[in-house]
Every structure is written in structure tokens, then in C-alpha cells.
């Protein structure tokens, strides 16, 4: 797990997101757990990933699937124990896989001891750790990240929560809050984790004047300058440890403001949501790639390429719709999906994202070609966003299919266990078992692509050059003899002159590349 010639590991890593509730269930309760991950580390090793990003596994009432944390220094019993987490870190390292844990600094659980103390008395010092305001009416008109109000009344006071009422926002002006999270970082670094993923990284500081939100005015709780001081402090801590990384979840419409978080004394990397939400369109995708590369180059940070995660509609579904974009403001749940088309495009997108300069992220199930389960009965929906926005993220969080012909598809060690969210029966062809050894499967495509990426020196460099070709084709070189070509033209196109085809997302017709298909080529040199 040493640093490569191309620089630190996080600049070109393939990072796999594990959503613990849905990866694998070892104790038969229908919920994924740490022992289930440990038992299936061979899947991640065989896939070839460089690191795992672990979604929250801390003690939590689970009002928001664990993003309401009651204790950052322990593990929720539903997932296992702290000793089990330490064993997983050690076993992952032995398999050549780094570990990244998720820290949620904007808010904590309403059951956290701090907030319970704050509720117990208006004079409790812990009240200063939050945003309490005495008022006869709601202090502001701010809308929450899930929709709805951001204030809840307690007696003659109100407290702020940008997410659910069970997730009270912390006051990052308070030195105790700052010191607590600096200690939490050291706690996990001391246990061997290689990186920290920072949830809702741009939201920590709020304008203390609590101004109303007006059209055109700066947002009073988004991307305030003071937040950068937090990450400068965290960077100093990360730099105390060898080869550690800070990775931010930064939802930001302007690329320039986004990359402010990636200045040399702040975060090492951040998720590229501009790329994730981009339409399946050659002009928009090329523009997004250019914009991303230029902005990151200005601050010397590596780009990241993300297609899906635990919050967004799986891209097999997204790419099979007429509108192929993603936005929380654009609820497309239930609109028609062509899964064959979406899968073909997802295969091509895999070769695109894995051959661009920078780091690539794979959300669990992408490697199996899973689609969004949009048929979850309303009474089984658990996502708090559903009641506020009418959109649920549960469809991308459905437990993984491992073996067999019917649910639970080997997700649980118990044949009688009911997974916490229902799996589509049609996933019988998407299990790890069904796809292993099938050269046409999504799983074998990912395995082959990641293996080639690891072995190809050009894909660890930080430069690319567009080829002069049809404007509806994305074609670029990485180094002197490697090229990726993605055809979005709607018609077959001739491949550029090349020595051999290294990998294709779909069948080739001689030297013709079908639409919505990508190929990696070895170019001829020295002629």
C-alpha cells in the first residue's frame, strides 16, 4: 500500500463505498454488519479496489440511517463492536486495501449526551454547543436539506437542524465543538484508518445574525468563509500522520467555489458532483470534464469521478431515462426506464470514469450493474427524506445480491432472514455468483478494467489529451499509447488507428464502435 510514482495513493485510487447496512449480513438479522464485510473482503480484493469508504457505523438511533451519530468513538451494536472494526481495518490492510471512515461534523444525534444535557436545562453550558434561539415564532424561514422547516420548538426556545429534528446542528464557533472533532480525527487515525470522508462539509458555519434567505443573496448556512479554517486545522492533524487523506462531500454549483476546499492547506480531495449529475450528452460531458480538470489543476488537487452513491439514483436507472441528469430538485422517481439502455451506458461510463485522470469511486452494487429499486412498498420506506420531499433514497440502498436464485440472495447467513429493504426478484442474474466468470458480465468488466488501470502506467499520470474526432465522441489519450473512446453519436463510428483493443464495454463490429459503447485501445507508436 505504498505511495506510487504518480504521488500519494488518494490521487489515483479506486475507492469503493461500503454501505454497511446493505453489504452483507453475518448475524442473520437482515441488516448488514462488520462481520459480513470481513467475510466478503475477498470480493473487494478480487475487484481490485485500493480503498474502502465506510458509511457511518457509529451508535445511532438511525433517524437518518446512521448520519445522526450519538457517539463517534464506538460502533453501533447492529453493526458489531469497536474490536470488530479494528479487526476489519487490519484485515483490509493485509489484503492491500485502505480504510476511510465517515465523519459527520455538521450535526449529531438528538440522543447524544451533549444535546440531552442541553435539553435538560436552559442554563446548561451544552446549549452553547448548538443553535438555540429564544423566540415566540420560528427564528427564520430557512428550508432544510430534506425540505421542510429547519427549526424545532422546545419550550420558549427553538433549535436549528438543517436535516431532521433528530439531527441538531452544532455551533462551530464554540471551541469545545472544534476540539471534540479534532480529537475524533485522532481517535480514528490512531486506529489505522487511512482517510476521513467529511459529510456535508460546506454547511458547518452559519451566519450568527440568522438573516432570512432571499433571492440572489448569499446563503446564510452554505460555504461561509469560516468553514475553511476548520479544514485547515484538520489538515494539520492529518499531516501529523503518514499518508492520510481528507475527502469532502461538497455540494457546490460553482466549480471555483468547490475547489476552494482543495487548496494545498485544506482537503486532499472532494466528490465531483458536477460529473455525477451530468446528462448523458457528449457536449455536456466534455465540458464537465474540461471544467473539472482545469479547476483542480489550479489548486493542484486530483479530480474525482463519481457515478453513484448512497444518496443518489443508481446510474443504471438514471442513464435509462429520457432525462439522464440527477438533482435533488428534480424528482424523477417512477418515470419510465429502459434498463437495457441504462446498463449499456453504465458499462461505457465505467470505462470512462476509470480512465480519466484522478481518483474513481465505485458505490457498492455498481460493479454488479444494479438498478434502483423503485418498487419498495410505502410502508417499508425508511428514508426521512421521503416524508419531506416525496423522494426516497432507499432504492439505491437495497442489500446486495450474492448468491442463489431468490431473495435474500445470500445477503444474510440465515435463509429465513428478511433484508431490511426488499430486493427485486430480477436480481437473480445480478448476483456475484451468477456474474463471476462470465466475460460479458458487469462484474467481470469492472474487474478487468480495474486490473488494467492498476497495470497501465499512463493511467496513473495526471494528464490527458483530447483526440481530434467527431464532436459527439469522447476520445482522449493517456500517455503515448493509451486511448479511451466513448461513442455518444447515435450511430456506429470507426475506431482510430490502433494496435489492439484492450477492453470494450460492449461488442465491436470489426473496427466499428457502436453507440453508447466505450473502448480502451493500445495505440500504434513510432510510425
Peptide bond into 408 cis (omega under 30): yes
Output phi, psi for 398, to 5 deg.
-65, 140
CB 160 within 8 A of CB 150: yes
Distance separating alpha carbons of residues 314 and 336, to the nearest angstrom: 14
Distance separating alpha carbons of residues 197 and 258, to the nearest angstrom: 16
HEC string of 81-146 equals: CHHHHHHHHHHHHHCCCEEEEEECCCECCCCCHHHHHHHHCCCCHHHHHECEEECCCCCCCCECCC
Nearest Cα neighbor of 222 from 265, 291, 181, 162 is: 162
Report helix angle 339-353 to 442-455, nearest 10.
Answer: 10
Distance separating alpha carbons of residues 9 and 454, to the nearest angstrom: 12
Q: Is 229 a catalytic residue?
A: no
CB 241 within 8 A of CB 187: no
What single-letter DSSP state applies at residue 519? E
Report helix angle 227-238 to 175-190, nearest 10.
Answer: 30
Q: Is 194 a catalytic residue?
A: no
> What is the sign, positive or negative, of the torsion defined by CA atoms of 152, 158, 161, 167?
negative
Nearest Cα neighbor of 347 from 334, 325, 366, 328 is: 366
Spot the catalytic one: 239, 240, 254, 499: 240
Spot the catalytic one: 199, 229, 444, 462: 199
- According to DSSP, the β-strands at 98-103 and 195-198 are parallel
What single-letter DSSP state applies at residue 2? P
Distance separating alpha carbons of residues 213 and 209, to the nearest angstrom: 12
Q: Please classify residue 375 by burial: count the beta carbons closer than 10 Å to its beta carbon, then call 0-12 exposed, 13-18 middle and 19+ buried.
A: exposed
Distance separating alpha carbons of residues 414 and 83, to the nearest angstrom: 24
Distance separating alpha carbons of residues 407 and 335, to the nearest angstrom: 25
Name the residues annotated as catalytic. 199, 240
Amino acid at each position: 500500500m505504498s505511495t506510487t510514482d504518480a504521488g500519494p495513493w488518494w490521487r489515483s485510487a479506486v475507492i469503493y463505498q461500503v454501505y454497511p447496512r446493505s453489504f452483507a449480513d453475518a448475524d442473520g438479522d437482515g441488516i448488514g454488519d462488520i462481520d459480513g464485510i470481513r467475510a466478503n473482503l475477498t470480493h473487494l480484493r478480487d475487484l481490485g479496489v485500493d480503498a474502502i469508504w465506510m458509511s457511518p457505523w457509529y451508535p445511532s438511533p438511525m433517524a437518518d440511517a446512521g448520519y445522526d451519530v450519538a457517539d463517534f468513538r464506538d460502533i453501533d451494536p447492529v453493526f458489531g463492536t469497536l474490536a470488530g472494526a479494528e479487526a476489519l481495518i487490519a484485515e483490509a490492510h493485509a489484503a492491500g486495501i485502505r480504510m476511510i471512515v465517515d465523519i459527520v461534523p455538521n450535526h449529531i444525534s438528538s440522543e447524544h449526551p451533549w444535546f440531552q444535557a442541553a435539553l435538560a436545562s436552559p442554563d446548561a453550558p451544552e446549549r452553547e454547543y448548538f443553535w438555540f434561539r429564544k423566540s415566540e415564532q420560528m427564528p427564520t424561514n430557512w428550508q432544510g436539506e430534506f425540505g421542510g422547516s429547519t427549526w424545532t420548538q422546545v419550550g420558549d426556545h427553538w433549535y436549528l437542524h438543517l436535516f431532521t429534528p433528530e439531527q441538531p446542528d452544532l455551533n462551530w464557533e464554540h471551541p469545545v465543538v472544534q476540539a471534540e472533532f479534532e480529537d475524533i480525527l485522532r481517535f480514528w487515525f490512531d486506529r489505522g484508518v487511512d482517510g476521513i470522508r467529511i459529510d456535508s462539509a460546506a454547511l458547518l458555519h452559519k451566519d450568527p445574525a440568522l438573516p432570512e434567505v432571499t433571492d440572489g443573496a448569499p446563503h446564510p448556512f452554505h460555504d461561509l468563509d469560516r468553514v475553511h479554517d476548520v479544514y485547515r486545522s484538520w489538515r494539520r492533524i492529518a499531516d501529523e500522520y503518514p499518508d492520510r487523506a481528507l475527502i469532502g462531500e461538497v455540494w457546490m454549483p460553482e466549480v471555483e467555489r468547490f475547489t476552494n476546499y482543495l487548496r494545498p492547506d485544506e482537503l486532499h480531495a472532494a466528490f465531483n458532483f458536477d460529473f455525477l449529475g451530468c446528462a448523458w450528452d457528449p457536449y455536456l460531458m466534455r465540458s464537465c470534464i474540461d471544467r473539472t480538470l482545469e479547476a483542480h489543476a489550479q489548486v493542484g488537487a486530483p479530480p474525482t469521478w463519481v457515478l453513484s452513491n448512497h444518496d443518489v439514483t443508481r446510474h443504471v436507472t438514471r442513464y435509462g431515462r429520457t432525462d439522464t441528469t440527477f438533482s435533488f430538485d428534480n424528482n424523477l422517481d417512477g418515470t419510465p426506464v429502459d434498463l437495457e439502455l441504462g446498463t449499456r451506458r453504465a458499462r461505457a461510463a465505467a470505462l470512462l470514469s476509470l480512465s480519466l485522470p484522478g481518483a474513481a469511486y465505485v458505490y457498492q452494487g455498481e460493479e454488479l450493474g444494479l438498478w434502483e429499486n423503485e418498487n419498495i412498498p410505502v410502508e417499508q420506506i425508511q428514508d426521512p427524506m421521503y416524508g419531506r420531499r416525496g423522494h426516497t433514497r432507499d432504492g439505491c440502498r437495497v442489500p446486495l445480491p450474492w448468491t442463489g436464485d431468490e431473495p435474500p440472495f445470500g445477503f444474510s447467513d440465515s435463509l429465513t432472514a428478511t433484508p431490511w429493504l426488499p430486493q427485486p426478484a430480477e436480481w437473480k442474474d445480478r448476483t456475484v455468483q451468477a456474474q463471476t466468470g462470465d466475460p460479458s458480465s458487469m462484474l467481470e468488466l469492472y474487474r478487468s478494467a480495474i486490473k488494467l488501470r492498476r497495470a497501465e502506467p499512463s493511467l496513473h499520470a495526471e494528464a490527458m489529451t483530447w483526440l481530434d474526432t467527431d464532436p459527439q465522441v469522447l476520445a482522449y489519450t493517456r500517455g503515448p499509447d493509451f486511448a479511451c473512446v466513448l461513442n455518444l453519436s447515435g450511430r456506429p463510428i470507426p475506431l482510430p488507428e490502433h494496435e489492439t483493443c484492450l477492453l470494450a464495454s460492449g461488442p465491436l463490429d470489426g473496427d466499428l464502435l457502436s453507440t453508447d459503447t466505450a473502448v480502451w485501445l493500445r495505440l500504434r507508436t513510432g510510425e
